Structure 1
Amino acid sequence: MTEQIDEYLSFSDKINDYISAVMVANNIGYENYDCSYLWDYVKSKGVFMRGFPFDGVAKDRISGMIVKDDLETTIGFNQNMSEKRKNFTISHEITHYLFHMNENKTIFTDTEQSLHYSYNEELHEFQANIGASAILVPDIVLFRFLKKGWNLAQLSHHFGISESALYIRLIHTMQANFGVSFVAAKMNADTIRYKFSGKGQRAAVELGTNLEARLFKTNRFIEAL
């Protein structure tokens, strides 16, 4: 578990630093952040995003892919998925594009299994899931809305990310950033998700405050955002 958490923290810092730099360069404040800003930035580099009506076995098995050839780099996604699933898939493929593609690796094909937010045998897939969640809601945005007392349903609706992805994000955030055990992190995430009208909101505000303090030490762009 330590290896997983260490990797989560390392790559989370890397992708969040990248997103923060894009936000500063394009004068994007946390109040109006939307993943489309990052998507458009990637498109400006010559990446095309296209939905495909997969049929047969592919309809249920393929979520997305990214292919680079001599003509272009294309992100393809399954049009049959829900909007939040599409958002996560596209952001997952963008992470592959930003950090994993090279002359020896020019194609990634992702299924529901590889898009599951967990540590698995393929490090690049684990990292791409971390990146997808961060692109949809960067840490520098997340802590501010947690401090405002937003619940997971509000965050999910506003940023187009599933509540389950946010829930796991909270667990990993607490484990990686604050050294909390999985059991303790899950209990706190359960409180935020299922008991928000009681102590859950206080737990969310406290988590946002602690994440803010941590980011002031590690994110060089925070004061500009």
Structure 2
Amino acid sequence: MTIKNIIKAAEELLQSFGDVSLPIRVEDIARGLGIKVLAYPLENDLSGVLVIEPENVTIGYNQNESRARRRFTVAHELGHYKLHNTRPNSSQVFADDKFLVLFRSQNVNEDSEEARREFEANTFAAALLMPESLLLQEIQNLEFDLGDERTIKELSRRFEVSTTAMYYRLLNLRRV
């Protein structure tokens, strides 16, 4: 799937929920799709899990993570749900450890199907939580330069994402 199509899928999901304001209410979006969102005491290396059953879909996130990390995890799992839910009426599980989600695992070949799915889910999550139109609007409202660390921190605060997630989103949009 192309990056353009992934971003389009995230934008269409946002538009289907009408009011798009900051911060994006990612858990409300999931619940609006009929997905249960639950906190779990997951192992420290596990960020989240998506369990798809014929009659029930659940996103679980690590309750020990920061709020920004939990929000990204829910958006990431929504990405798997919207992009990789390829077997209707059958059970599927997507379990994401922190290293796979952040692409820092040495155990995953970058060309593997798993790495591709993780990249796609991350791209979807970033587009969902930090929509380009809202991000550009917020940038115009700031007094600081995008090269200023305070700007990234302020944008992160407004969008309720980590500074790392915001930095990479700005980088991918060629704004830093």
Pairwise TM-score range, normalised by the shorter structure: 0.7 to 0.9
Aligned positions of 1:57-76 closer than 5 A: 58=43, 60-76=44-60
Q: Does 1:140 align with 2:133?
A: yes
Contact 2:10–2:128 (CA<8 Å) still a contact in 1? yes
User: Of residues 22, 40, 61 in structure 2, which corresponds to 1:52?
Assistant: 40
The range that moved more, 111-120 or 39-48, is 111-120
In structure 1, the partner of 2:148 is: none
TM-score normalized by the length of structure 2: 0.79
Q: 2:12 aligns with which of 3, 7, 21?
A: 21
Cross-structure match for 1:182: none
CA distance in 2, matches of 1:72, 1:26: 21
Larger radius of gyration: 1
Q: Spell out the pairing of 1:39-188 with structure 2 (5 A cutoff).
A: 39-54=27-42, 58=43, 60-103=44-87, 106-116=92-102, 120=110, 121=112, 122-149=115-142, 151-174=151-174
CA RMSD of aligned residues (A): 2.4
Whole-Å Cα distance in 2 between the matches of residues 126 and 106 of structure 1? 19
Secondary structure, aligned partner of 1:65: strand
Query: Does 2:23 match 1:34?
Result: yes
Q: Which has the higher strand share?
A: 2
Contact 2:30 2:37 in 1 (8 A): no
Unaligned runs of 5+ in 2: 145-150
When normalised by structure 1's length, the TM-score is: 0.63
Secondary structure at the counterpart of residue 99 of structure 2? coil
Q: Is 1:96–1:124's contact at 8 Å kept on the other side of the alignment?
A: yes
**Residue 70 of structure 1: how far off its partner (Å):** 2.9
Query: Are the counterparts in 2 of residues 20 and 140 from structure 1 also a CA contact under 8 Å?
Result: no
Gaps of 5+ in 1: 1-6, 175-187, 190-225
Q: Deviations over 1:112-162 (max 9, x none)?
A: 111116793410100111111111111111111112236111111111111
Equivalent position amino acid for 2:56 in 1:
E
Q: Equivalents in 2 of 1:171, 1:117: separation in Å?
A: 16
SS at match of 1:157: helix
Letter in 2 for 1:162: S
**8 Å contact kept, 1:117–1:129:** no
Give aligned-pair identity as a percent.
26
Q: Distance in 2 between matches of 1:94 and 1:81?
A: 18
SS of the equivalent of 1:135 reads helix
Structure 1's 41 and 86: CA in aligned 2 closer, same or farther, altered over 3 A? closer
- Normalized per residue, which structure has more helix? 1
Cα distance in 1 for residues equivalent to 2:91 and 2:100:
17
2:61 and 2:70 in contact (8 A); partners too:
yes
Q: Aligned-pair distance for 1:107?
A: 1.2
Matched to 1:86, the amino acid is: R
